[in-house]
Structure 1
Amino acid sequence: MQKVIKRTVLAERQAARRLKSRKEKNARDEARNARDQRNYVRKDEMDHLKQARWDRREDYELGPLAPRRDVGDWTDKWGTLNSMRAKGQELQPREKEKIWEPWGGKFLNIVVGDRVVILDGRDKGKIGVIKDLNKDTAEVTVGGLNLIDVEIPQYMIGPDEQDTRPIRTMEKPVSVKSVRLVYPLTDAETGITRDVIVKKVVTSGMWFDKHKGTATWSRIIPGLDIKIPWPKKESVKNKDEPDDTLRIDVETKTFVPTLLRPPMPGSVIDELRNKFSVFRTRHEPEYIAAKEEEDRLKEERKRTSKQMRTPLKEANRLERKAKKALGKGKLTEEMLEKIGELVSQKRQLAMEAAGVSKEGAVSEEPVTVTA
């Protein structure tokens, strides 16, 4: 039985090591892919910047004779961006934490549906609604703003896709550092309501639901103690299909628990997990009894082997008995003299190796010093 337990423990440890190795490999692959994407985007940006500087200088020097650049292969693609550049790059954990800290860190005070104003770029000062929020890239997509033309490669257009345009207009994500919340406030003196840019929002009224494992909180404007409500979510109406199970059938209670039998038969666990897996920790009584009988027989064989008297064991026993009869040996005068000679020789060799002669050795007799 001990072998079965050891085999299960060994299999669990091997699986844990394989899982750890797989996680480390996936983390390295993700980091390498993110690094390659950043390098590609950076190189593409530098190439476009160098080309733009060259074109500007050429246009300045040639004047009316400057060539047209929106011809040939660039007839439709002139002024477009690469699809890789249009997608934001994933940030490092420290960078994400630093950027999201003003917005509440783990508990964000900005969500999809909020009205924000853009602070940078050609759409500076315009207000829009957040359509998407990406925590990994620390960017938000504002509907109808920061529009760009993106070149879609042919291999990215599927055969069943209806939109086959190679050039598409889309909203480029904006960093959360370049947006601020907009909330309508009413002036107490004039009674006029107008949109106000909120510079800072703090978290308040944090509540953790331990049963659901969720947290809820409110966001307020510090100093004014004005609570900014969360945007209303549109209710999704699910339509029942012919193959769907009706909710009334799901919510109907058909099981009545009793004290005579468990809710599910014990054989269900065999359907959920392989009965003969190396990771199993449950065994049938007959199997356990058989393994315990094997252990008992093994221990009995060990005891029997110890009780058996073989010729080798008999010879060793007689030798031990003879040594015991001789008793402990005693040192004679000749032995003691020989040991003294060996000690003095060893001492003399050690002093010579240290560079100390016998005559120059320090005397061990006490010396009296008088003032």
Structure 2
Amino acid sequence: MQKVIRRSILAEKQAARRSAKRKDRHTREWAKSNREQDRHLRREATGQIKQARLNRREDWELGPLAPRRDVGDSKDTFGTIHTQRMRGTVIHYKDRAEALKKVGGRFLNIVKSDRVVLLEGKDKGKIGKVTAVDPSRAECTVEGLNLIDVAIPSYMINEEDPDKRPIRTIEKPVPLTSVRLVYPLSDPETGITRDVIIKRLVNANFWFDRHLNRTSWRRMVPGLNISIPWPKLEPKEHKDGPDDTLRIDVEEKTFVPSLLRPPMPGTVIDELRNKFSKFRTRHDPEYIEAKLAEDRAVEEQKKRVTEMRTPLQEINRQERKLRKAKGKGKLTSEMLERIGQVIAKKRQLAKAPQPLAA
């Protein structure tokens, strides 16, 4: 039985080591892919900036003779950017807390459906509604603001898509540090309600919501003790599909427990358990009895080995019996006197001066 327990422990340790190696490999692959994407985006952006500088210098030098650049392959996509430059780069999880520190860190203060104002860019000062938040990039998308023209490759245009244009105008995400929350507050003196730009928010009153199975908190305006409520999200509409189980079938009672039998038969655990898994910790009684019988057989074999004696062991055993039968010896007065003389002689030799070496 000890072998079974030892094998289960070794299997669990091996699984933990494999999981750690797999996680480390995925982390290194993710970091490598992220570096390659960042390098590609920087190279593309640098190339576009250099080409724009050359075009500007050429236009200035040639004047009216400057060539048109919205022709040929750039006829439909002139002035657009590539789809890969729509979003920023993924922030490493070690630096993510520092990047999100001003907006609440791990517990964000700006969420979907909030109204925010842009602090930079061509739409600076405009107010819009947040449609998406990406904590991994510390960005958010604002509805109708920071629009850009993106060149859509031909392979990304589906044949069933009614929009065949190679250029799409979409909202480019903006950094979370470049937006501020806008919320209507009432002036206690005049009673007038108007939109107020909230420069700073802090988190307070954390609690665990067991119904949603997540941590909830409140966002407060520091110094004013004003709680900013979270936006009300519209409930999702669930449409039944052809393969969905109807709710009436799910709620139908097909099992009624009674006092004569438990709610769950005892054979259910045997059905759920993998009989041949090396990670299992529960076994059948027959399997346990067989393993205990093997352990007993091994112990009996060890016992028989210890009972077997070689001729030399038998001789030593007889000599030990003879010495035990004689008993412990006693020292006589003559023996003690002789021992004293030997000790005195050794002491005299030790006190005598040693001759110097030549």
Q: TM-score, normalised by structure 2?
A: 0.82
266-275 or 204-213, larger mean C-alpha shift:
204-213
Q: CA shift at 1:251, angstroms?
A: 4.1
Separation in 2, partners of 1:301, 1:206 = 64
Q: CA shift at 1:150, angstroms?
A: 1.1
Cα deviations by residue, 1:168-194 (Å, 9 ceiling, x for unpaired):
111100001111111223345555433
Matched, 1:46 2:46: yes
Alpha carbons 2:103, 2:177 under 8 Å: kept = no
Report the CA distance shift for 1:167/1:242 in structure 2 as closer, same or farther (over 3 A): closer
Separation in 2, partners of 1:319, 1:159 = 97
Instruction: Write the letter of the residue equivalent to 1:126.
Output: K
Separation in 2, partners of 1:257, 1:187 = 61
Separation in 1, partners of 2:266, 2:137 = 49
Instruction: Write the letter of the residue equivalent to 2:185.
Output: L
Q: Name the counterpart of 2:143.
A: 143
Q: Name the counterpart of 2:228.
A: 228
Q: CA shift at 1:71, angstroms?
A: 0.8
Separation in 1, partners of 2:8, 2:189 = 77
Report the CA distance shift for 1:301/1:324 in structure 2 as closer, same or farther (over 3 A): closer
259-268 or 172-181, larger mean C-alpha shift:
259-268
Instruction: Write the letter of the residue equivalent to 2:219.
Output: R
Separation in 2, partners of 1:157, 1:235 = 32
Separation in 1, partners of 2:192, 2:315 = 115
Cα deviations by residue, 1:274-309 (Å, 9 ceiling, x for unpaired):
211111211111111111111111211221122224
Q: Name the counterpart of 1:71.
A: 71
Q: Name the counterpart of 1:115.
A: 115
Report the CA distance shift for 1:315/1:294 in structure 2 as closer, same or farther (over 3 A): same
Q: Name the counterpart of 2:312.
A: 315
Alpha carbons 2:203, 2:217 under 8 Å: kept = yes
Separation in 1, partners of 2:3, 2:262 = 32
143-152 or 90-99, larger mean C-alpha shift:
90-99
Separation in 1, partners of 2:173, 2:357 = 93
Q: Name the counterpart of 2:334.
A: none
Q: Name the counterpart of 1:268.
A: 268
Report the CA distance shift for 1:211/1:80 in structure 2 as closer, same or farther (over 3 A): closer
Q: Unpaired runs of 5+ in structure 1?
A: 327-332, 341-356, 360-371
Q: Unpaired runs of 5+ in structure 2?
A: 324-341, 350-355
Matched, 1:99 2:99: yes
Instruction: Write the letter of the residue equivalent to 1:208.
Output: F
Instruction: Write the letter of the residue equivalent to 1:12.
Output: E
Counterpart of 1:168 in 2: which secondary structure? strand
Matched, 1:4 2:1: no
Report the CA distance shift for 1:265/1:65 in structure 2 as closer, same or farther (over 3 A): same
Q: Name the counterpart of 2:88.
A: 88
Report the CA distance shift for 1:193/1:322 in structure 2 as closer, same or farther (over 3 A): closer
Instruction: Write the letter of the residue equivalent to 2:46.
Output: M
Report the CA distance shift for 1:315/1:42 in structure 2 as closer, same or farther (over 3 A): same
Superposition RMSD on alpha carbons, in Å? 3.1
Report the CA distance shift for 1:7/1:73 in structure 2 as closer, same or farther (over 3 A): same
Separation in 2, partners of 1:165, 1:317 = 102
Q: Name the counterpart of 1:277.
A: 277
Cα deviations by residue, 1:63-103 (Å, 9 ceiling, x for unpaired):
11111111100001111111111122111234321232222
Q: CA shift at 1:208, angstroms?
A: 2.4
Q: Name the counterpart of 2:21.
A: 21
Q: TM-score, normalised by structure 1?
A: 0.80
Separation in 2, partners of 1:171, 1:305 = 83
Separation in 2, partners of 1:39, 1:45 = 10
Report the CA distance shift for 1:154/1:322 in structure 2 as closer, same or farther (over 3 A): farther
Once the two structures are superposed, the pairs formed by residues 110-189 of structure 1 within 5 Å of their partners are 110-189=110-189
Alpha carbons 2:128, 2:145 under 8 Å: kept = yes
Counterpart of 1:244 in 2: which secondary structure? coil
Separation in 2, partners of 1:318, 1:220 = 92
Counterpart of 2:34 in 1: which secondary structure? helix
Separation in 1, partners of 2:263, 2:176 = 52
Number of residue pairs the alignment of both structures matches: 334
Cα deviations by residue, 1:186-226 (Å, 9 ceiling, x for unpaired):
34555543322111122233332357532332223233333
Separation in 2, partners of 1:283, 1:190 = 76
296-305 or 122-131, larger mean C-alpha shift:
296-305
Once the two structures are superposed, the pairs formed by residues 205-224 of structure 1 within 5 Å of their partners are 205-209=205-209, 213-224=213-224
Instruction: Write the letter of the residue equivalent to 1:193.
Output: T
Q: CA shift at 1:255, angstroms?
A: 4.4
Alpha carbons 2:140, 2:174 under 8 Å: kept = yes
Matched, 1:203 2:173: no
130-139 or 89-98, larger mean C-alpha shift:
89-98
